[in-house]
Amino acid sequence: MLDILDGARERLARASDPVPCAVATIVSAQGSVPRPVGTSMLVGADGALHGSLSGGCVEGAVLEACREALETGRSSLRSFGFSEEDAFAVGLMCGGSLEVLIQPFAPPPPGTQSPLGTVSDPSPAAYVTRLPQESDAPPAAAPGGDDADGPRAVLLAGDGAEEVRGALTMLLPPELLEAGSAQVTAMLREARTGTLRLPAGASTIDLFVEPRIRPAHLVVCGANAFGQALVEAARPLALRITLCDHRPAFTDPTAFPGAEVVRDWPHRFLAAAAERGDLDARSMVCVLTHDPKVDVPVLATALRLDIAYVGAMGSRRSDHDRRTALREAGVDEEALSRLRSPIGLDLGAESPAEVSIAILAEILAVRAERRTVEPLRDGSGPLHARTAASG
């Protein structure tokens, strides 16, 4: 939901012509599926369509479900999976299965606020939805996507225990509030998207929790053609990108659209970023400077941090000399074993654009914990290692 939240807010808040919309969100997934839990697709009453849940194989059915929700004002859960009996049935040809939440949202009456907030609101910490169940009585349509018995979703501005508890009073009965608040708070702290199932007598109450996860941080050291190509190639990956170089003449921000450009020695910037909490276990550092007086200090700093990826560009000879210098700088062998140098996968890349693809391919492989990489056609396992996310 959070990936299309701004678009939904804008449609509902149009001053002259507010537009109702429906949002389809993947709330659970089994087996091989194209997109992860939390991915959403928006359908406007004016025919607008934004986002994708599966790359095409279930979009038609989801579109019809969203149109139905716009007509009835009712939320629903829909399941999609591969059918061995009917190859032409709506489903996922990749063999997995999805459960999709369909939610309608109507423009709020004058003087009231949409359940999605306003366009000027800051980014929420999370979106929590009480999932509809078959045992629920069919609700009457209500403005803004709320069912007749009260709100079905809340936006959380923060992840504090008291803040979560206060928001969940609109979704949970008093006897489940303490347990539900504790579990939702834990999911937010762990940045874990999924469904939380709470026992409620003979049935359950299911909450879908979607935290806003800050983007992973990619730090590119080196304002040159390779740095420029890497920034450009990384832009579609929803990363926070920083380009760092100490040379003022090379760090024109307009040359690196999509990146924060920092004029500083990379090792000083990296140390300060770590101190500020701007780096975490998902962060990546790519050193593309070809200059030992820059490379060695920043790599020594990076290899002492708990981050996902550290890579450096250079020939095998320069890599040998760089590793010797790093040892002399006090970097131990365990830390050196984490250095990806020469940087990138062996794809035969030569141009800056090609090298950027090789670097990003290696980053993806490291993030997926792939020690070796081979063509998909030569493998036999599932293409996507995602499983159902649930609390």
Q: How far apart are CA 188 and CA 164, in angstroms?
A: 10
Q: What radius of gyration do the chain's Cα atoms show?
A: 24
Here the tokens at position 288 are 């593309």
Q: How far apart are CA 162 and CA 200, in angstroms?
A: 22
Question: Do 231 and 244 meet the contact criterion of CB atoms below 8 Å apart?
Answer: no
Give 340-355 as a DSSP string. E-S-S--S---SHHHH
pLDDT at 210 over 90: yes
Q: What is the pLDDT of residue 14?
A: 79
pLDDT at 368 over 80: yes
The more confident residue out of 327 and 116 is 327
pTM for this model (two decimals): 0.72
CA dist list (Å): 329 to 23, 73, 302, 326: 54, 65, 13, 5
Task: Give the pLDDT band (50/70/90) at residue 323.
Answer: very high
CA dist list (Å): 377 to 17, 74, 114, 188: 50, 43, 48, 38
Q: How far apart are CA 2 and CA 155, in angstroms?
A: 10
Q: What is the pLDDT of residue 95?
A: 56
Q: What is the pLDDT of residue 376?
A: 81
Q: What is the pLDDT of residue 32?
A: 65
Question: Do 290 and 314 meet the contact criterion of CB atoms below 8 Å apart?
Answer: yes
Q: What is the pLDDT of residue 380?
A: 75
Q: How far apart are CA 251 and CA 295, in angstroms?
A: 18
Query: Among candidates 239, 236, 241, which has minimal Cα distance to 253?
Result: 241
Q: How far apart are CA 118 and CA 98, in angstroms?
A: 30
Question: Helix, strand or coil for residue 159?
Answer: coil
Mean pLDDT of 339-364: 96
Here the tokens at position 23 are 């949002």
For 303, phi then psi, to 5°, come to: -70, -10
Here the tokens at position 88 are 């032409």
CA dist list (Å): 317 to 35, 286, 287, 297: 41, 19, 16, 19
